[in-house]
Amino acid sequence: MAKQQQEKSFWQKLIGIDRRVIYLIIALAMILPFFFQMGLPIPVTDEVKRVYDYVEGLTPTDCVVLSADFSPSVAPELSPMFEAVFRHCLKNKVKVLVISLLPQGPGLVEPVVQQAARDHRATNGVDYAFLGYQYGFSLVIMRMMENIEAAFPNDYYGTKTSDLPVMKNIHNYEEIDLIVSLTGSSNHRVWLTYAHEPYNVPVAPGVTAVIAADVYPYLQSKQFIGMLGGLKGAAEYETLIEEKKMASMGMEAQNWAHIVIILFIIIGNIGFFAIKRQERA
Amino acid sequence: MLWKKQIPLAIAFIMGLIFGIQYFVPHRISDQFFQGYLDWGIVIGIFGSMLGFISFYRAHGMRVKKKAPAWPYSLIAIAVSIFMALAGFIQGRETGTIYSNMYFYVLVSIEGTMFSLLAFYISSAAYRAFRARSAQATALLIAAIVVMLGRVPLGEQLSFWSNIWPSLPSITNISDWILNVPNMAAKRSMELGIGLGIMMLSLKIVLGIERSYMGSD
């Protein structure tokens, strides 16, 4: 009886691990991989490959709108995504219009834009335009279909958009070859409704892992050409462009965090079933 | 009553009707009307933002004035908002400016920290609540574990059977299937339901049946 009591207390302990212990283990699982990289290969999913292939197929006369519609809370997932796609475009000399429909967006991506431009020797206003934020979200998207310069009269640095050489042959959606909307909410659907459906502009969302599940119906219906989902999507894109940066490093941390969470779930269930069995006995 | 009820209802009805027709009429006048709406929409929205600023300073100002609980935080909110605005106006917002540094080293860090706390809460909650109590809960548990493994590189490495029998799906393949088939079926039905609901609600607003957006009084 005493032995059984002792055994029971062990199972009780197993399902009652102090949350501070869990927090500590999770913290270690996420911090340590940044210092000890395993360098596991990152398999590329079809939806990411489709976005990569599409950008790869663009020429220097083509133009991509990169919309940084995210805030700092989701930046660790979406900023590497933005960087990977932006670098890919610069590498292929594809024109890029960087915009944001959320006020926090431009501040977040400006250093990324500048660093990538330096690395690829791209010039603001010539190879790409950093148009910054404009109020109105869906109204801005609708305005862009008539006239991009009217929607963004000045760029982020105050230069008139019409004076930028990169804008010479770009007036509305007819000259846009791809829109990549990076968002931590369902904002990608607004691009779908107001840009893709009426004007058939190809759209590819880059979303957080939480939102990724919502995008699959639109992938199957081919309304989105592909998708970058969560940090994994960013890491896959980095793998494809052969520029491993923050997303690939972050995947190691995510790797171990997922493993630790799964282990905790298994431990919790073992304890749960052991107690249930004892109660039945 | 006329200003609070009849006129807003009339505006909703007339504008709903006009935009309903406008969408299907590809005419110059229709396009001009739509462009006017876009300009007005943005202007009204910006005025709405101004109301937001006024409301922010009024609410926090009152808290400071009345020395309400935690009033020092309201004072900090007011002071920092003014400081950020001044820093942006005076020095600009390019990389290296005070505005940019405050944004990156304070706001981004704070928001990032708040969001990252989720990882800790989710881990603890999953450990405590994710139990295979029933057949449905077990299915959910297995699906969750497979998707979690499938979303990280280790999932592919753990699929040792794929090397022995290449025809068998790896954890990543199974995870992709879960997302592409059962998940998508559920999402699609939800999306259709939401879409039909939006259509119905819009019609009810235009026809004046749904009036809760006008407030209670």
Q: How confident is the model at residue A34 (pLDDT cuts 50, 70, 90)?
A: confident
Residue A42 zone, left/alpha/beta (φ > 0; ψ -120 to 50; rest): beta
Higher pLDDT, A39 or A31: A31
Alpha-carbon Rg for chain A, nearest whole angstrom, is 23
Mean pLDDT of chain B: 90
Which of B:128-167 have CB within 8 Å of A?
Answer: 128, 130-132, 141, 144-145, 148-149, 151-154, 156-157
* Assigned architecture for domain A46-252: 3-Layer(aba) Sandwich (3.40)
Kindly tell me if the per-residue pLDDT of A164 is higher than 80.
yes
ipTM above 0.90, yes or no: no
Kindly tell me if the per-residue pLDDT of A131 is higher than 90.
yes
Kindly tell me if the per-residue pLDDT of A5 is higher than 80.
no
Match 């005070």 to its residue by tokens: B98
Q: Which residues of B touch A199 (CB under 8 A)?
A: none
Kindly tell me if the per-residue pLDDT of A179 is higher than 90.
yes
Return the residue of B nearest to A255 by Cα.
B152
Residues 6+ apart with CB under 8 A from A34: A249, A252, A253
Kindly tell me if the per-residue pLDDT of A68 is higher than 70.
yes
The answer to whether the CB atoms of B94 and A110 lie below 8 A apart is yes
Which pLDDT value is given to residue B216?
Answer: 66
Residues 6+ apart with CB under 8 A from A50: A204, A225, A226
Which pLDDT value is given to residue B35?
Answer: 87
The answer to whether the CB atoms of B153 and A257 lie below 8 A apart is no
Match 């029998």 to its residue by tokens: B165
**Degrees, nearest 5: CA angle A84-A89-A92:** 125
Concatenated DSSP letters for A160-196? BGGG-GGGTT--SGGG--EEEEEESSTTHHHHIIIII
Which pLDDT value is given to residue A56?
Answer: 96
Phi/psi at A209 (5° precision): -60, -35
Q: How far from A64 is each of A58, A94, A185, CA to CA, in Å?
A: 9, 7, 21
Phi/psi at A55 (5° precision): -65, -40
Kindly tell me if the per-residue pLDDT of A9 is higher than 80.
no
The answer to whether the CB atoms of B130 and A268 lie below 8 A apart is yes
Kindly tell me if the per-residue pLDDT of A64 is higher than 80.
yes
Return the residue of A nearest to B152 by Cα.
A255
Q: Which residues of B touch A269 (CB under 8 A)?
A: 130-132, 141
Best residue of B38, B104, B122 to probe chain A, by most A CBs closer than 10 Å: B38
Which pLDDT value is given to residue A4?
Answer: 57
The answer to whether the CB atoms of B130 and A74 lie below 8 A apart is no
Return the residue of A nearest to B176 by Cα.
A45
Mean pLDDT of chain A: 91
The answer to whether the CB atoms of A139 and B38 lie below 8 A apart is yes
Least confident of A8-12, A15-19, A60-64, A158-162: A8-12
Which pLDDT value is given to residue A281?
Answer: 78
Q: Which residues of A touch B149 (CB under 8 A)?
A: 258, 262
Domain ranges of chain A: 46-252
A143: contact with B, CB 8 A cutoff: yes
Which pLDDT value is given to residue A66?
Answer: 96
Higher pLDDT, B18 or A38: B18
Contact A262, B148 (CB under 8 A): yes
> How far is Cα A216 from Cα A210, in angstroms, rounded to an integer?
12
Which pLDDT value is given to residue B65?
Answer: 95
Q: Which residues of A touch B35 (CB under 8 A)?
A: 146
Residue A265 has its nearest CB partner, among B116, B119, B145, at B145
Best residue of A11, A42, A74, A139 to probe chain B, by most B CBs closer than 10 Å: A139
Q: What is the mean pLDDT for each group of 10 consecutive residues in chain B (217 residues)?
A: 85 92 88 88 88 94 94 95 93 85 88 88 90 92 92 85 86 91 92 94 92 77
Return the residue of B nearest to A158 by Cα.
B92
Which pLDDT value is given to residue B199?
Answer: 93
Q: Which residues of B touch A76 (CB under 8 A)?
A: 112, 116
Residue B124 has its nearest CB partner, among A22, A209, A269, at A22
A110: contact with B, CB 8 A cutoff: yes
Q: Which residues of A touch B151 (CB under 8 A)?
A: 209, 230, 232, 254, 258
Q: How confident is the model at residue A219 (pLDDT cuts 50, 70, 90)?
A: very high
Q: How confident is the model at residue A28 (pLDDT cuts 50, 70, 90)?
A: very high
B42: contact with A, CB 8 A cutoff: yes
Match 């997932």 to its residue by tokens: A77
pTM of the model: 0.87
